[in-house]
């Protein structure tokens, strides 16, 4: 899992965060955080302008994320609280099952927010996502 943290957080920092030219907060939402907090923690610690929220439907995962110092909220992507994503500058999800990806993409499209998905190994992402080869690693993006 360290490998995912290294290249995914590096990609987000290099392609999105380093380009921030003002002091306004940069809102990022991770959908389906589960119990893997490494990418969120790296992003949160990288720049104090980052307003990072992690969401999951699992209350235990959200409670643990809060104990890890993350802003964590319960949300169900089948019936999302759209206000959570309204002012987001970026949405990402790590290893979401393929059947959840259309719902994540729908949230991204609704608010015209760029989306990054790191799919489960060997599982093809949905067709609307574009493959990015980042230092030999597959990342899928929209927007």
Q: What is the pLDDT of residues 9-52, one digit of tens each?
A: 999 998 888 877 788 889 999 999 999 999 999 999 988 889 99
21 inside domain: no
Contact 107, 77 (CB under 8 A): yes
Number of domains in the chain: 1
100 inside domain: yes
8 inside domain: yes
Average pLDDT on 84-97 reads 94
79 inside domain: yes
Domain that holds residue 32: 2-15+26-142
Average pLDDT on 57-85 reads 96
Output the domain CATH number for residue 103: 3.40.50.150
For 40: left if phi > 0, alpha if psi spans -120 to 50, otherwise beta; the answer is alpha
Is the pTM value of this prediction over 0.85? Answer: yes
74 inside domain: yes
pLDDT at 57: 97
């Amino acid at each position: 899992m360290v490998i995912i943290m290294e290249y995914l957080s590096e990609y987000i920092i290099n392609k999105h965060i380093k380009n921030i030219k003002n002091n306004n907060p940069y809102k990022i939402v991770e959908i389906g955080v589960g119990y893997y907090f490494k990418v969120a923690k790296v992003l949160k610690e990288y720049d104090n302008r980052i307003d990072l929220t992690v969401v999951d439907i699992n209350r235990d995962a959200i409670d643990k994320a809060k104990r890890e110092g993350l802003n964590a909220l319960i949300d169900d992507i089948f019936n999302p609280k759209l206000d959570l994503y309204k002012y987001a500058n970026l949405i990402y999800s790590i290893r979401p099952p393929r059947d959840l990806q259309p719902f994540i993409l729908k949230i991204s499209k609704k608010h015209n927010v760029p989306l990054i998905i790191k799919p489960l190994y060997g599982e093809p992402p949905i067709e609307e996502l574009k493959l990015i080869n980042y230092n030999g690693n597959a990342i899928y993006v929209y927007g």
